[in-house]
Amino acid sequence: EIVLTQSPDTLSLSPGERATLSCRASQSVSSYLAWYQQKPGQAPRLLIKDASDRATGIPARFSGSGSGTDFTLTISSLEPEDFAIYYCQQRSDKISFGPGTKVHI
């Protein structure tokens, strides 16, 4: 079973600042990693697939990088609507999610 860990647990930032979120896999997942955003009371939304490929309609301020076991989601300049919980997911071996990082003001 591949375990994903995310850091930090929470991130306190202001609009306009840069957010850097990390996801680490217990074993290599190659580039089989995605990032999701979830706002309160809403379903998750796919942001990044295949480690660095933005999903349809996702703004360019969201970017993903990494391969193997270490991955990063970067939000270049936070907009008010970006304050949410972010999850990483792997599909290299079955499917698992990380515990999430909450980005708040």
**Two tokens at 45?**
């939304």
Q: What percentage of the chain's residues is helix, strand, coil (to nearest 5)?
A: 5, 50, 50
Give CA torsion, residues 78, 45, 11, 70, to 10 deg.
-110
Stretch touching another protein by CB under 8 A, among 11-19, 21-29, 35-43, 67-75: 35-43
Does the protein bind another protein through residue 45 (CB under 8 A)?
A: yes
Q: Give CA–CA dist 42/65, Å, rounded.
A: 26
Least distance from another protein to the Cβ atom of residue 96, Å: 7
Does the protein bind another protein through residue 54 (CB under 8 A)?
A: no
**Two tokens at 43?**
């379903």
Nearer to another protein, 54 or 77 (CB): 54
Q: Which of 43, 60, 80, 105 binds another protein (CB under 8 A)?
A: 43
Q: Which residues are at the interface with another protein (CB under 8 A)? A: 34, 36, 38, 42-46, 49-50, 55-56, 87, 89, 91, 94-100
